[in-house]
Structure 1
């Protein structure tokens, strides 16, 4: 990709800025399309933390409208249910911070190998035609980025992916807050209300604040400001 090579050779810092612009376009104006990738990260957050806390993941179902649900093998204990439910909206932020940490250290291939490994594991539990389309497509894209891209292009793509995850997390929360989806019965926010008795709008604001903080921290990391 000549553009990526030219930008990298001229000034590596410009890669970060170019990546941020590309990621913003993908995560905000094109969110109606890219929301499916953000949803995979969202549900992946539920599933990953659940597995780390020794819970069995039964299925991850993605739907056409961008809605999704992760099912576990039984009722989660309260002390596990709260953080696992929170982790959905924070999942893209956490994955974005991990990608940023690797990218700024030059481990650009590792960004995609880690994404690929996680997505392959998701293939075993994903359900529904949307999931069967989106997750394999992301597997292919991650594999191509890890194996068949030159270092300058790979560096640009790794930064784009990190920025995208960080920005998409904020956009996802903003969409929820603007549309009032936090009050929808069965939503993560409603589930957190049931578990904690705190109003869902408060949970919406808290999760939005967390994603904004992650974007600020991850952005500073990517821009080498901190």
Structure 2
């Protein structure tokens, strides 16, 4: 019981707000992780983890049978689920990928706005643990395990200030990374024409053009970014 009490005390603890300058410097660091190509090549795996996790979560909630998730070294991924090939369940499953990082970022900003920085990190750890059991390839296992190890190290060993800075960094990275992946999606579609992207699959299901769905992804990412900024008092 003492261990459980100590754990709950850690999880439910609230952190004091960071100085505004520290927050902005941390956001700038997150922007560099997204905008600098060598950094993005590595950190984009984090966005892919959330993207595929979003597909898997919504597929399961929609009654589809989740068969596994694969993450690849080129930062692509694949979530396989079994169910009706058409209908709302399939549409929402496809919608979930590109919107998941932005929505998670907005949820993270909400937790930060209430001082639950450490609670956010524990929630991320729990989500990564649930995702790990659905991974079906070695690179995916390694990718999720390393990500979880980094989050755990900060969560367990970091000071409250380090935890808060890391939580802001993750939140800003998710929000900015969500926007970049949508832009990359449209660039790839423009170069290749029709493809098997989420937007093109949605186009075939709904008879609405692929660019419409790209715009939907971008609108969600933009709205989440603005909403998060307001929650954190940045605008």
Q: 1:109 to 1:200 in 2, by over 3 A?
A: same
Comparing 50-59 and 208-217, the one that deviates more: 50-59
Match of 2:88 among 79, 83, 91: 79
Correspondence for 1:22: 29
TM-score of the aligned structures, taking structure 2 as reference length: 0.86
Closer, same or farther in 2 for the Cα pair 1:50/1:12, shift >3 Å?
same
Aligned to 2:7: none
- 2:189–2:195 contact (8 Å) kept in structure 1: no
- Could you tell me how far 1:157 is from its partner in structure 2? 0.6
Q: Which residues of structure 2 form unaligned runs of 5+?
A: 1-14
Q: Describe the shift of the 1:119–1:198 C-alpha distance in structure 2 as closer, same or farther (beyond 3 A).
A: same
The CA distance in 2 between the partners of 1:203 and 1:9, in whole Å, is 40
| 1:151-202 CA distance string (max 9 Å, x none) | 0111111111111100000010011112326844321011101110111122
Task: Give the match for residue 204 of structure 1.
Answer: 214
Contact 2:86 2:205 in 1 (8 A): no
CA distance in 2 between partners of 1:184 and 1:11 (Å)? 46
In the alignment, which of 179, 182, 202 is matched to residue 173 of structure 1?
182
* Match of residue 45, structure 1, among 31, 49, 54: 54
What are the superposed Cα offsets for residues 36-64 of structure 1, whole Å, 9 maximum, x if unpaired? 11000111111122222233321111112
Shift of 1:66: 1.4
| Match runs of 1:1-226 below 5 Å | 12-29=19-36, 30-75=39-84, 78-180=87-189, 183-225=193-235
Once residues 195 and 210 of structure 2 are traced to their aligned partners in structure 1, the CA distance between those partners, rounded to angstroms, is 10
Runs of 5+ consecutive residues of structure 1 not aligned to the other structure: 1-7
Are the aligned partners of 2:154 and 2:163 in contact in 1 as well (CA < 8 Å)?
A: yes
Please give the secondary structure, in 1, of the residue aligned with 2:68. strand
Alpha-carbon distance change, 172 to 11 in structure 1, aligned in 2, over 3 angstroms = closer
**How many aligned residue pairs are there?**
218
In the TM superposition, residue 130 of structure 1 has moved relative to its aligned partner by 2.1
